[in-house]
Structure 1
Amino acid sequence: MRRRPLDHGGVPPWRRITPDPVRTWRRRFLERGPGGLCDDPRPGVPRKITDADVERVIVKTLEETPKKATHWSTRSMAAATGTVRRRRTRGLLGI
């Protein structure tokens, strides 16, 4: 039985997703199942900020407020969590 090619349509245009990532996700899913939808390791220098660091900052942001302030700044969060301000900001933004 011949398999028909996958139709990559059906992605709503407002999602602004081109067919290329959809093909990649579908191929990974067929090859590896649901676990294939996770990102593959990226080339280059490994991340210096861990998932635990990101989780700690997010939890602190959502559940606490800084002393004498209404919201966290990058400086106050860096001081409270012991992370480097620039790395924390870039790491959380995914850049």
Structure 2
Amino acid sequence: MQRRRKGNLQTLAGLLEIPADIVLDLPRITMLGNKQLLVENHKGIIEYTGSLVRIKLSQGELYVAGAELTIGNFQAEQLLVEGTVMEIKYEV
């Protein structure tokens, strides 16, 4: 039932030319080289150290591993991770 609803929402988003990330509550992840990672539409930070940042998403978690990681900007809808990003893992 839930899959059909998501399919209907995707179809509606396409017809109305609305980005799917808005309609389906999906994160938008933008990476600038290996120095910055911008995560939009997140649900908060689960864990934060200099080598690991775990970010809660609407469906799962995003693991960002690296060196000298810092939170450059933290807002309700977007989060900027700065440092040397070595690995990104999305777990549902």
Q: Which has the higher contact order (CA 8 A, sep 6+)?
A: 2
Structure of higher CA gyration radius: 1
> With structure 2 as the length reference, what TM-score do the two structures score?
0.27
- TM (norm. structure 1) is 0.27
